[in-house]
Every structure is written in structure tokens, then in C-alpha cells.
Structure 1
Amino acid sequence: MTQHLIPVSGVFYRLVFSTTRNAPITAAKTPQGRFHYNGQSALYMSPTKEWAAKALKVYVRPDDPPREFISLNVTGAKILDLRKASVREAFQIRLPDIRAHWREETANGSPGSSWKVSDRARELQADGLFYPSRTEQARWNLVLFRWNKAGAPSVEYTD
């Protein structure tokens, strides 16, 4: 099954609060997200600054502190590429589950459908996944489940 995990290294972007710009690289602050729940680690990134801003748009509030982009160099990641239909089919992962509105589902007392997707990727020993945007077919993002520890990919600030 590991033949479906692709090696990934490169620069990715996040839009963070300016006050945390040089803080240690940590998991998402919320206890639940699109691809994490119940204390699972997740680090969400995008291949461009524009896509990082679009991915975060739903979470930005008018009274938030100022934000700025950071660039992160990811090395040594083994990623499940869910942009590819052939990979989704090989692991019986449905595109609607990837794109599900997890917040609406959990508000109704159900687990997020996208959590089944990340659970499956974790079972396959993936460090993370490339996943298509919910709103734009051409757009995609990266989520890592583990980083900066033994046997995991490295993630470092580039500037």
C-alpha cells in the first residue's frame, strides 16, 4: 500500500496571526478541523499564498489580530495524493467525504465525513495528504499529521 504514498518536499504557506509568526511550528489550535479531531495533530498548508488566504477565509473574524503569511519548507513527507481519482478509488475514498462540511455534520452530532478520510490515510501510514478544495476544482492544499519528530517529515521556517 505504501506505493501510493508519494515523496513530497517543497515550500508551502500559512496565514497566521502576526504575534505567532516566529513561534514553534505547532498543530492547528482548534480541537477539531477538516482532517483532525480528538487531539489528533494536523498542520494545514497551501502551495501558494493566495490559496492559503482562501483556505483560511471561513475562519477569519473581523476582530482578529493582524495576520501575515509564513513560508514553511517541508522535507521528507510521504503523502497520499487525494487529488487523483485513481488514488481515491484504490482506497475507497469518496470525493464528497473529502469535501464534506464537517462543521455542519458535527453540529448535528455526527462525526465529520472528512475524518473518515484522514483516519484512512493515517492507517496507511501517510504523513499527510494532498486534498482538493471544496470550492474550486483546481485548488488544493496539504495537511500533515506528524512532523519534526523521529521518523516524521521536517517542517522549518524559510525566512
Structure 2
Amino acid sequence: MNTITGTIYRAIDPMHMGSALDGSRGEGRFNAADQPTLYLSSSRDGVAAAMIKHTSANDPARTVIAVRVENARVFDLRDADSPDHAGISLDDATCDWQQQLREGVRPQSWSVRNTIEESGAHGLIDPSRKSPGLWHLVLFTWNTPSAPAVTVEER
């Protein structure tokens, strides 16, 4: 596991700026609707890459904000050896989770999250599939006792 401390970025609908750190409002690659999850990116370019898949023409423009993350223990999916050590599969982590949902199947990537969370990690590093070399930070817990502190640095 790695520890992350630093500035990370998030795209947010300006109408929801007051709840920018509340996390996802629905299902995502690494979460069912009832699992708090905060999706972030390591850079503004990472946010742009992530938004390719998660924005449609009818969506409002997003604002990119900088947030400070302190002491997040995370499992790094970029490390080719890491999945073997945790008993997870990179194929499961990168599955087409939206297609699996459409088929009525629980996405394999949700099981990856559960396994990583059970190992004591606060979240994971997910390599960008749209822009190799970029990465995203996915937090399962934050701003609670013994979890990483996350605060807005810049709007």
C-alpha cells in the first residue's frame, strides 16, 4: 500500500459546489449506490480524461477544483504485482461495469473495491484507461476518524 498526501483534482457541477466532497451520488466503477466514494484525479489532465467517459452533451459544464488529501492509505492498481498480492484481478478492476449493470450483473469492479477495502485501504489508485500515464484516486472513506482528511484548496 502507498500513502498519498497532496493536491488532487475533482470535476464538480457548479450547482453542487457546496457538496463537492460528499462523493458520488450514484453507482460508479468502484461503488454501488449505497457506498460512499470520492472520485478524484491526480491532475487537471486526469480530470479531463475521466470526463470523456462521464459527460454527455446535455450535462452542465464542470468546474475543476483542487483538493488536499492527507494520509490516504491506498492500493495502487498501477503496480502490476499488486493485484496478485491482494487476490484481485486487473481484468475485474477494468471490466465494463456499466454493461454488467445493464445485464443485471453485479460489476466485478465492485468486488475489487470490497477486497481492497477489507485489506484496510482507504481507497485505490486507478490508472487512466483514456490517457495512459495519468491516474485517479478513488477514496472509500474520508473526513471521519482514522480516515484521510480531504479539504477544498481552490475553487
Amino acid at match of 1:28: S
- Please give the alpha-carbon distance, in whole angstroms, between the structure 1 residues aligned to 2:38 and 2:31: 10
Instruction: Say which SS state the counterpart of residue 114 (structure 1) adopts.
Output: helix
Amino acid at match of 2:120: Q
Amino acid at match of 2:24: A
Q: 1:38: Cα distance to partner?
A: 4.1
Give the equivalent residue in structure 1 for 2:111. 116
Instruction: Say which SS state the counterpart of residue 15 (structure 2) adopts.
Output: helix
CA gap 1:92/1:136 in 2 versus in 1, 3 angstroms: farther
Give the equivalent residue in structure 1 for 2:78. 83
Question: Given that residues 99 and 133 in structure 1 are in contact (C-alpha distance below 8 angstroms), is that contact kept between their aligned partners in structure 2?
Answer: no
* Number of positions where the alignment pairs a residue of Structure 1 with one of Structure 2: 154
Give the equivalent residue in structure 2 for 1:134. 129
Residue 6 of structure 2, aligned match among 10, 13, 28:
10
Aligned pairs for 1:22-41 (under 5 A) are: 22-23=18-19, 25-30=21-26, 32-41=27-36
- Please give the alpha-carbon distance, in whole angstroms, between the structure 2 residues aligned to 1:93 and 1:59: 25
- Please give the alpha-carbon distance, in whole angstroms, between the structure 2 residues aligned to 1:15 and 1:105: 25
Instruction: Say which SS state the counterpart of residue 21 (structure 1) adopts.
Output: helix
Give the equivalent residue in structure 2 for 1:70. 65
- Please give the alpha-carbon distance, in whole angstroms, between the structure 1 residues aligned to 2:125 and 2:101: 23
- Please give the alpha-carbon distance, in whole angstroms, between the structure 2 residues aligned to 1:69 and 1:121: 28
Amino acid at match of 1:37: A
**Cα RMSD after superposing both structures:** 1.4
Question: Given that residues 34 and 102 in structure 1 are in contact (C-alpha distance below 8 angstroms), is that contact kept between their aligned partners in structure 2?
Answer: yes
- Please give the alpha-carbon distance, in whole angstroms, between the structure 2 residues aligned to 1:50 and 1:138: 11
Residue 153 of structure 1, aligned match among 130, 133, 148:
148
Q: Please, what TM-score do these two structures have when normalized by structure 1?
A: 0.90
- Please give the alpha-carbon distance, in whole angstroms, between the structure 1 residues aligned to 2:20 and 2:131: 31
Identity %: 31
State yes or no: 1:44 paired with 2:39.
Answer: yes
- Please give the alpha-carbon distance, in whole angstroms, between the structure 1 residues aligned to 2:9 and 2:63: 10
State yes or no: 1:94 paired with 2:89.
Answer: yes
CA gap 1:25/1:139 in 2 versus in 1, 3 angstroms: same
